């Protein structure tokens, strides 16, 4: 059997077009089923030859040509055949060559879309936005601005990784929604925004949980607060609000002595907010244990700080303790805790007397008088409050010594 290609002259072979090639291919395949085995082998060889000839047009060959129409047709043909790696370099050259001579709007649209479909999302993100800026009235402008956002979305990684492109995608979708409020892409756009925000929620939750697990309770509490601020509609808002209480309690426990009272009061405040929002929460019982303990520890911490505060400021901090005790007393129901704080209240008034007495002993004779008078004054306050105190004998000794020294100092001078 003579090869099908025997009917074609050399001139015809060089001049074949795409449609002719497809027709010949169809004829060859059809003929394969109609001839003998030997003829099929010959026809099969012809098919291989045809495929070789048809593959001669490469991007390198097209780029070397000076025929713009040929370049354009070939690039569009490859684009339609989804051979994007072939058409991209040709489109890129054509846009440069044709600039200022004729419109490249359609070519630029296909170039940007080819990059997207090829998976080059960083490049497509740039060119889709650039297309929108260059051709705001184009039939493709809406789609290109949407695809600009979608290109960023395609670069958004797993929640555990850096979310720079997630934020870029959200900004791009917001821009799109501002420009096209009634777009045909509206639903797809809203779905994408929800999906991206969920990813950011997951990222934020993971960060907060990691801070808590690594005992960085201050950062954990702050992160959970930021989650409620940034994602007010988060599905896990109940858990997040509870974790603020829990993290703040741990943070207060591990704080320096001078800051504990303030931070335990923050626990109480967080608990009240949590209880108001989620009165039937499954976490309420556990949260209540932190709140209950915080009332007691706020008072205890105030005493502990007053006891070790600088001597010049000690009376001031004991009064902070007295005020804290008065404020928290009604919320403390444990008898042992109440008994302990009552004893500390008594001790606090006594220690103020003792503090002034010790200060007077450390001063020179001429500077003793003010602190001795404060010793006497605070003694009267103490005995009025606790006339049967276990510290009464020691307080009387300091009082008597102070009054004697006051008399001598005033007599001498």
Give the predicted TM-score (pTM) of the model.
0.76
End-to-end CA distance of the chain: 142
Yes or no: say if 103 and 84 are a contact pair by the CB < 8 Å rule. no
Nearest Cα to 90, choosing from 113, 65, 124, 127? 65
Contacts of 351 (CB under 8 A, 6+ apart): 306, 307, 314, 318
CA angle 82/88/94 to nearest 5° reads 125
**CA 388, 394, 397, 403 torsion-angle sign:** negative
Tokens of 3: 């090869």
Cα dihedral 233, 238, 242, 247 in deg (nearest 10): -40
Reduced to 3 states (helix: H, G, I; strand: E, B; else coil), residue 135 is coil
Q: Give the integer Cα–Cα distance in Å for 46 and 54.
A: 12
Reduced to 3 states (helix: H, G, I; strand: E, B; else coil), residue 363 is coil
Contacts of 294 (CB under 8 A, 6+ apart): 249, 252, 264, 265, 267, 268, 271
**Ranges of residues in the chain whose predicted pLDDT is under 50:** 1-26, 28-29, 31-33, 35-54
pLDDT of residue 362: 83
| pLDDT (tens digit per residue) in 226-235 | 999 999 999 9
| pLDDT (tens digit per residue) in 118-175 | 999 999 999 999 999 999 999 999 999 999 999 999 999 999 999 999 999 999 999 9
Q: Give the integer Cα–Cα distance in Å for 294 and 296.
A: 5
pLDDT of residue 56: 63
pLDDT of residue 11: 34
C-beta atoms surrounding 60 within 10 Å: 8
What is the chain's length?
Answer: 413
Q: Give the integer Cα–Cα distance in Å for 309 and 258.
A: 8
Q: Could you say which DSSP state residue 366 is in?
A: G
Diameter of the chain measured on Cα atoms:
145
Nearest Cα to 267, choosing from 211, 331, 192? 331
- For the packed helices 18-32 and 37-54, what is the interaxial angle rounded to 10 degrees? 160
Q: Could you say which DSSP state residue 6 is in?
A: G
pLDDT of residue 27: 52
Q: Could you say which DSSP state residue 353 is in?
A: H
Nearest Cα to 146, choosing from 120, 118, 112, 119? 112
Map out the domains of the chain with their CATH numbers.
Answer: 119-201 (1.25.40.10), 352-413 (1.20.58)
- For the packed helices 284-308 and 257-277, what is the interaxial angle rounded to 10 degrees? 160
Tokens of 54: 């048809």
């Amino acid at each position: 059997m003579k090869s099908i290609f025997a009917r074609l002259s050399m001139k015809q072979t060089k001049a074949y077009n795409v449609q002719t090639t497809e027709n010949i291919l169809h004829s060859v395949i059809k003929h394969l089923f109609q001839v003998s085995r030997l003829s099929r082998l010959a026809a099969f060889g012809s098919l291989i030859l045809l495929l070789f000839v048809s593959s001669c047009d490469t991007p390198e060959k097209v780029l070397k040509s000076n025929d713009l129409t040929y370049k354009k047709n070939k690039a569009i043909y490859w684009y339609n055949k989804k051979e994007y790696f072939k058409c991209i370099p040709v489109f890129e050259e054509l846009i440069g060559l044709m600039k200022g001579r004729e419109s490249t709007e359609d070519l630029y649209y296909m170039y940007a879309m080819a990059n997207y479909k090829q998976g080059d999302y960083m490049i497509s993100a740039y060119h889709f936005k650039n297309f929108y800026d260059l051709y705001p009235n184009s039939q493709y402008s809406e789609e290109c601005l949407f695809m600009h956002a979608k290109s960023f979305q395609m670069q958004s990684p797993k929640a555990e990784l850096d979310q720079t492109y997630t934020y870029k995608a959200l900004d791009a979708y917001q821009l799109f929604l501002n420009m096209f409020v009634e777009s045909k892409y509206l639903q797809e756009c809203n779905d994408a925004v929800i999906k991206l925000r969920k990813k950011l929620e997951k990222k934020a939750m993971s960060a907060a949980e990691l801070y808590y697990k690594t005992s960085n309770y201050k950062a954990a509490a702050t992160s959970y607060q930021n989650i409620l601020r940034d994602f007010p509609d988060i599905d896990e808002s109940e858990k997040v609000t509870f974790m603020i209480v829990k993290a703040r309690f741990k943070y207060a426990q591990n704080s320096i002595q001078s800051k504990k009272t303030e931070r335990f009061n923050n626990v109480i405040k967080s608990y009240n907010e949590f209880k108001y929002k989620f009165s039937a929460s499954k976490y309420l019982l556990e949260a209540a244990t932190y709140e209950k303990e915080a009332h007691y520890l706020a008072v205890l911490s105030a005493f502990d700080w007053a006891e070790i505060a600088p001597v010049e400021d000690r009376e001031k901090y004991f009064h902070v303790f007295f005020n804290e005790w008065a404020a928290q007393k009604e919320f403390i129901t444990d008898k042992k805790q109440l008994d302990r704080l009552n004893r500390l209240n008594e001790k606090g008034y006594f220690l103020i007397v003792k503090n002034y007495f010790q200060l007077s002993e450390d001063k020179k004779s001429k500077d003793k008088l003010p602190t001795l008078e404060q010793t006497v004054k605070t003694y009267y306050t103490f005995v009025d409050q606790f006339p049967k105190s276990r510290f009464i004998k020691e307080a009387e000794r300091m009082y008597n010594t102070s009054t004697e020294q006051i008399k001598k100092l005033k007599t001498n001078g």
